[in-house]
Structure 1
Amino acid sequence: MSISSPSLGRPVGAHGEQTRQRVIAATMRCVAEVGYSRATIREIARVAGMTSGSLYHYFPNKAELMKATFLELADIAVPGLADAAARTEGVLNKLMVVLDEGDSLLRDGSAGGR
Structure 2
Amino acid sequence: MVRIDKWLWAARFFKTRSLAKKNVEQGKIKVNGQRCKPARTVDIGDQISIKKSQAKWVVDVLELSEQRGPAKVAQTLYQETAASQKEREDQQLLNKLEYHSTPKPDGRPSKKDRREIQKFKKKF
What is the TM-score normalised by the length of structure 1?
0.29
Which is helix-richer, 1 or 2?
1
Instruction: Tell me which of the two structures has the higher relative contact order, counting C-alpha pairs closer than 8 angstroms and 6 or more residues apart.
Output: 1
Bigger radius of gyration among the two: 2
